Chain A
Amino acid sequence: MNLTLRVWRQKNAGDPGRMVEYPATGIIPDMSFLEMLDVVNEGLIAKGEEPIAFDSDCREGICGTCSLVINGIAHGGQRGTTCCQLHMRFFKDGDVITIEPWRAKGFPVLRDLVTDRGAFDRIVQSGGFISVNTGGTPDANALPVSKVDSDRAMDAAACIGCGACVAACKNASAMLFVAAKVSHLAQLPQGKVERTQRVTNMVKQMDVEGFGNCTVTGSCEAVCPKEISLDFIAQMNREYGRAILKGTK
């Protein structure tokens, strides 16, 4: 396959950045999208040009590091798939493909396609945990948890924190990410103790980080590589409403 790439290049946070066109030739359908970029980068290095910077690590769809907007869609548009697991058989010979970084106020670009998603970490630091210290915990089977609750907690906990939900949202809202963590922990008896404070703190931090409001367009769910359901946003809204009624600060 031969393709044309239009790629966002930006030297560092201070550089205004621009789109640059590159040919991608001799691409095999079995390659992953990132392997296709590796091939293009090897070509650039051979010419003495700097390769396109993009983030990746596991390359199997679980670490949440890869983060490309491909043809305007976060992760490229194959349902439930991160861009590292998107394969070139998804494209056609001769395609023109635009590749951009996540774009959101909360995720500043560091270079080319690499962004700073530290805001997500700070949201978790504000309350996305259960406050237990190591040791002195009861036997794991001391407290049965219904399979339904446990499965639902797992559905929410499957979030990989990639940030595609933010990148896809016209308001750059982080609601799906925050809702997934709030719901995961609120679903389990161990997490119920702190549920009020947790949701209050996490929502507050989300606002501090400059993420927008949720207007429930569902674009986040559509691009989520783990198919995290919008239902969790509803669950979080209930959690938040409950916290307001309880009057936490």
Chain B
Amino acid sequence: MILDSKIPSGPLAQKWEKHKFDMKLVNPANKRKFEVIVVGSGLAGASAAATMAELGYQVKCFCFQDSPRRAHSIAAQGGINAAKNYQNDGDSVHRLFYDTIKGGDFRAREANVYRLAQVSVNIIDQCVAQGVPFAREYGGLLTNRSFGGAQVSRTFYARGQTGQQLLLGAYQALSRQIGNGNVKMYPRTEMLDVVVVDGHAKGIVVRDLVTGEISAHAGDAVVLATGGYGNVFYLSTNARGCNVTATWRAYKKGAAFANPCYTQIHPTCIPVSGDHQSKLTLMSESLRNDGRVWAPKKKGDTRRPDQIPEDERDYFLERKYPSFGNLAPRDISSRAAKEACDEGRGVGPGGLGVYLDFADAIKRLGEETVRERYGNLFQMYEKITGEDAYKTPMRIYPAVHYTMGGTWVDYNLMSSVPGLFVIGEANFSDHGANRLGASALMQGLADGYFILPYTIGNYFASEKQPKPNLAHPEFKKALESVEAMTKRLLSINGKRSVTSFHRELGKLIWDKCGMARTQQSLKEALARIPELRAEFWKNVKVTGDNSNLNQDLEAAGRVADFLEFGELLCLDALTREESCGGHFRVEHQQPDGEAKRDDEHFSFVSAWEYQGPGKTPLLHKEPLVYEEVHMSTRSYK
């Protein structure tokens, strides 16, 4: 496998313009002869499917939820970045680009990130035209807030429901195309394999989650927009259904997987309350605009927060990172909270928590203003914990939130399998080793509205591929292998539930490959995961049958993939002998505990190529070459 990032030549700021001109076009009348399969209906998938249908392609779109409107993107709270500079505070495309590269700890591809910053401004225009009700000033113009890792206000938001409103915009655009017959939508349908014919992606195999029917679909190209793999940790802020299945099965068909060890732990989530917990809930980063993070100075201080006087509190982010304060980036803030708890200064049950305090903000702005800005978050906090955050500080703890790693793609968002494109959180492309807040929504929509619809045309126009044919033996082979796996899962009839395996795997990965990783912890995980996987295939109990809706069977397939993927995640973490962004190797730190990057040896993207069952995957290195930015030690002090 040769990885060619296909970065266009020329100066950074002109690459995308130049590339758009150089790409071959499909004549409007010919577009309808091409069929595109889009798996996923989140921000990336819905925007891509709608836009390609508008252009004239025939599109089929798949999602596992009962409606495309329910994709996990719906849950994003805080906002979306764009370099509009509406606040006149010194923002620009270049600054957004630089912040994103630096936020990613110099582990992202420069050309992709620059293009992302460039198209960010179009996204806001598009969404407003669709009727997305972004927050506004009294004068009628759009307003902004600040997010971590930036010193300008460039985040657009719709109360605490930005993801919902952006997704509804994309969903409505998609619905319009479904209504006029240009997109055929398949909800409650799960993709279980990619079909590759003569080296090109030509279709997928899916299972109808209501009837159990397994079928194949052919297309001239396949687009995966299937989101991130955070649920490999079992507990995360992701929706329950989020999974790695689509990108994992594509990996097994030859699509290299990049940087799986770059996982984001979000600093402000509601702490775990017990073993029954099924997911963790994020308290949006936007809260750090007004909330102050602190822990008691004294170890084991069990006084109520209002009993702890000001001079016995440690506002550790403000202390350690004075120029960014509470808005330090996520990886850094999470580690700082963990440190405080490791030192025995954590609060709440088990000492796994720190405070996020709004007392000062309420004093300064009044409760009404705080309520207007964050009311729904305070309400959610109260529902879950039974506590009133207007009166007592929130308790927060870091939790798995986002995955920067994903399928390797080139500048055209095409994977190492020609004809297989990957967009949104599912790819690895733009966030390096750490994503800045409010940049995932931006990337999903950039990919779907403004990048993929161009680059896919170039693939069609330059490749001149034969039409896909469902009769090809590769389709039959893929169908048979999916059917065999389904039968096998149902026939094991062991003693342990699917969830019990998922929980055990999640806890193992959190403990050994979470916020801090060591060579030893990773080796332990790498020894344990294959054992757990073997036990799964011997002793899992999957109830029911394949001819009815069977949620146990759905979960079993996803957990089976996590049990394989988890190993790659740990292997990648073991191989990367440096600390960068969300990947913190305890052996590699500065004397003050900050991450110690090793540019000399690790300034590359790790792209793993599948070698077959039981074989160690092959590591390919895509060097990261910076033409424009100077790689420096990332400092938010």
B137 within 8 A of A: yes
**Pick the contact of B386 from A56, A80, A89, A150 — CB < 8 Å?**
A89
Q: List 14 A-B contacts (CB under 8 A).
A: A39-B276, A44-B543, A50-B544, A58-B72, A60-B282, A80-B379, A87-B383, A120-B67, A129-B173, A130-B130, A137-B125, A140-B128, A153-B131, A184-B133
- Inter-chain CA distance A81–B383, complex, in Å, is 9
- A185 surroundings in chain B (CB, below 8 A): 131
* In the complex, chain B residues whose CB is within 8 Å of the CB of A45: 497, 541, 543, 552
A32 at the interface (CB under 8 A from B): yes
A50, A63, A144, A145: the one contacting B543 at CB < 8 Å is: A50
Report the minimal beta-carbon distance from A187 to chain B, rounded to whole angstroms: 8
- For residue B560, which residues in chain A have a CB less than 8 angstroms away from its CB? none
Chain B interface (Cβ < 8 Å from any Cβ of A): 47, 50-51, 54, 65-70, 72, 74-75, 84, 86, 122, 124-131, 133-142, 158-159, 161, 163-165, 168, 171-173, 175-176, 178-179, 185, 187, 210, 239-241, 273-274, 276-279, 281-282, 379-380, 383-384, 386, 449-450, 453, 497, 499-500, 541, 543-544, 548-549, 551-552
Q: Which residues on A sit within 8 Å (CB–CB) of B47?
A: 134
Q: Is the CB–CB distance between B384 and A138 below 8 Å?
A: no
- A155 to B158: give the CA distance in the assembly, Å: 11
Which of A46, A81, A134, A144 is close to B51, meaning CB atoms less than 8 Å apart?
A: A134
Structural contact, A190 and B164, CB atoms closer than 8 A: no
Contact of A161 among B69, B138, B139 (CB under 8 A): B69
With contacts A140-B125, A145-B140 taken as known, whether A129 is within 8 angstroms of B172 at the C-beta atoms is yes
Query: Which listed segment binds B: A1-9, A110-118, A209-217?
Result: A110-118
> What is the bound-complex CA distance between A158 and B548, given in angstroms?
33
Q: Is the Cβ of A140 less than 8 Å from the Cβ of B66?
A: no
Shortest CB-to-CB span from A148 to chain B, Å, is 9
* Chain B proximity mask over A34-75: 1 for CB below 8 Å, otherwise 0: 110011001011101111010111111111110000000000
The reply to whether the CB of A128 lies closer than 8 angstroms to some CB of chain B is: yes
Measured between beta carbons, the chain B residues less than 8 angstroms from A50 are 543-544, 552
Judge whether B129 and A130 touch: CB under 8 Å. Answer: yes
A7 CA / B124 CA spacing, docked (Å): 46
* Residues on B with beta carbons closer than 8 Å to the beta carbon of A38: 276, 278, 499
**A22 smallest CB distance to B (angstroms):** 15
By the criterion CB–CB under 8 Å, are A118 and B67 in contact? yes
Total residues of chain A contacting the partner, CB 8 A: 78
Interface check A16, CB cutoff 8 A: no
Chain A residues within 8 Å of B210, by CB: 110-111, 116
A 124-162 binary contact with B (CB < 8 Å = 1; else 0):
111111111111011111011111001101100110110
Contact (A140, B124) CB under 8 Å given A39-B276, A65-B66, A118-B66: yes
A57 touches B72 (CB 8 A): yes
Apart from A30-B273, A141-B84, what are 5 other A-B pairs with CB-CB below 8 Å? A48-B543, A60-B279, A85-B383, A117-B66, A134-B47
List chain B residues, Cβ under 8 A from A244: none
- Verify B176–A125 contact, CB threshold 8 A: yes
Quick one: CB contact mask for A160-177 with B, threshold 8 Å, 1 for yes?
A: 110000000000000000
